[in-house]
Amino acid sequence: MKVSYHGHSVVKIQTNGKTIIIDPFITGNSLTDLTIDEVKPDVIILTHGHGDHVGDTVELAKRNNALVIANADLCAFLSFQGVKTHAMHIGGAYQFEFGKVKLTQAFHGSGYVIAGSQEIIYCGMPAGILFMNEGKTIYHAGDTGLFSDMKLIGERHPIDLAFLPIGDNFTMGPEDAAYAAKLLAAKTVVPIHYNTFPPIKQDPNTFLEMLDDKNGKILQPGESIEI
């Protein structure tokens, strides 16, 4: 599997000829190397309903006839906009033809703010994502604070590659993310959700230095790992 990082929380997985994108926040993402014209996802997986994660989902799903996978409440909201969805919820896994997806817990919010309307739409609970295919397991933590059941997630699903937020303020900061890496016991850990906005400014090298196992890898937007 080829797994690439595209700034903020955007992760792209290429497996068996399919392109899967997680949290495609492209428009307004100053760090991304992607444009919505060049990304052609078959599948979009969302961690939660915040704008910096839902991003360009509706546009991308419609243009590419992509399937959107998310929690049931967020799927309902997106289906009202004409998007093809597969609803799941925390703790549930489903074997798709392109891989297995399981939603895990995350501690965060998940309301979608309608720009300029002073309206906020309930989009269910936030989640993390386990993606399994070709004998490998990827964990995308979404936006979350540190929680001790990360140990349970790692025990139940040995993780090859974990994407962990380090930005602080809205999610774990570098210290908590380094502790999370220890609990998860992932083979390789990649920091995400930093430097996009002033409150989440971080030096990812600080995070790498804090890792007991020195198993961190910084991916610049557009860089990938083969697992």
In this chain, which stretch among 13-21, 75-83, 142-150, 210-218 interacts with Mn ion, using CB under 5 A?
A: 142-150
Residue 50 as a binder of Ni ion (CB under 5 A): the answer is yes
SS3 (DSSP) at 208: helix
CA distance 90 to 97: 20
How would you class 35 by CB atoms within 10 Å of its CB: exposed for 0-12, middle for 13-18, buried for 19 or more? exposed
CA distance 86 to 168: 31
Residue 143 as a binder of Mn ion (CB under 5 A): the answer is yes
Q: Which is nearer to Ni ion, 145 or 221 (CB)?
A: 145
Residue from 15, 20, 100, 114 nearest 68 by CA = 20
Smallest gap from residue 108 Cβ to Ni ion (A): 5
Residue 23 as a binder of Mn ion (CB under 5 A): the answer is no
Residue 143 as a binder of Ni ion (CB under 5 A): the answer is yes
Q: How many residues bind Ni ion (CB under 5 A)?
A: 2
The two beta strands, 67-71 and 43-45, are parallel
In this chain, which stretch among 71-79, 138-146, 175-183, 200-208 interacts with Ni ion, using CB under 5 A?
A: 138-146
**Residues at the site binding Ni ion, with contacts judged by CB under 5 A:** 50, 143
